[in-house]
Amino acid sequence: MDQQDKTTRPSLLRQGAAAAWPICLGYFPIGLALGVLAQQAGLPWWAMAMMSILVFAGSAQFICVAMLAAKASIPAIIFTTLVVNLRHTLMSSALAVYLAGVNRKFLTVFSYGITDESFAVNMTHFKNGQWDRWRALVVNHLSNSVWILATVTGTLVGQFVPQGAFGIDYALTGMFICLLVFQLQGRIYILTGLLAALISVTWYLLIPGDSYIVGASVCAATLGYLLKRRYRSSK
C-alpha cells in the first residue's frame, strides 16, 4: 500500500517541506548570486526566469551565464551544459529503485525537479525508510520554486551589486563542498571522494573539454560500488 493512503495530504506536505527547507535555505543565496551574475552578463530578468524554469540546474546555469559573458557560441553552450547535466542520468537511475511501478506521468513531473541537493536529501530519506514518492515530490518542487524566486530576484537587484562583491562567484563551489562533506559517512565514502578528485584532475589535464565531470563521476561511483561490495563480502 502506498504510504499516501496512511498519511493525510497536509502531513505529507509538512514532512516534505521539513526535509526541503535546508535546500531552500541554501538555494536562496546561491540563486541570488546566479541572478546577480546573469544581470552583469546582460541577461534580463525574464530570460533568467525562463532559464530557471526550463533548465533548473544550478551548475549548468552558472556555466551558461559564464559562457555567455565570455561570448561563447550557442552550440558550445548547449553541448557543455548537456555534458555537465549527464550526471542526472546517474541520479535518476539511483532513484528509480525506489520508484518502481510508478506511472509515467508522475515520473515526468518528478524527474523535472531532480537536482544534486534534492537527490541527496531524498536518497537519504528513502534509505532510512518512512519516505515515499509524494514527500519526495514536495522536496523537489518546493526547492524548485525557491530557486526560481531567488534567481529572478538576484537579476532584479544585480544592478546594485558591484562585480566580484561578497564572493558571489564562489557560491556554487561552496555549496558543492558542503554537499560532499555531508556525504562522507564512512571510509569507503571518503575513499570514493578522493578517487573522484584524483580521476577528475587527471582527466582534466590529459583530455580537453568538460568530459572529466561525467567521466570522473562514473569511474569513481563504479569503483566505490566495487569497494563496498568487496567490503560486504569480506565480512
Residue range 21-40, pLDDT digits in tens:
888 888 888 888 888 888 88
Q: Which of 130, 162, 194 is the last residue of a domain?
A: 162
When pLDDT is cut at 50, 70 and 90, the band that residue 81 belongs to is: confident
> 144, 133, 136: which is closest to 23 by C-alpha?
144
**Spatial CA neighbour of 140 closest among 99, 171, 79:** 99
Determine the pLDDT at residue 218. 78
Task: Kindly state whether residues 210 and 142 are assigned to the same domain.
Answer: no
Of 119-128, 165-174, 192-201, 202-211, minimum mean pLDDT range = 165-174
pLDDT of residue 234: 67
- Whether residues 151 and 193 share a domain: the answer is no
Dihedral sign, CA of 99, 50, 77, 180? negative
CA 133, 118, 93, 232 torsion: positive or negative?
A: negative
What does pTM read for this prediction? 0.68
Do 225 and 156 lie in one domain? The reply is no
Same domain as 153, residue 73:
yes
Burial 187-211 (b: 16+ CB within 10 A, else e): ebeebbbebbeebbeebbeeeeebe
- Structural domain harbouring 35: 3-162
Mean pLDDT along residues 113-128: 86
Q: Give yes or no: residues 12 and 75 share one domain.
A: yes
Do 61 and 97 fall into the same domain? Answer: yes
Position 5 scores a pLDDT of: 45
Please give the pLDDT value at position 184: 72
Q: How many CA atoms lie within 13 A of 224 on its CB side?
A: 21
Tally of domains within the chain: 2
Q: Are residues 29 and 137 in the same domain?
A: yes
- Which residue in this structure is represented by grid cell 557560441? 73
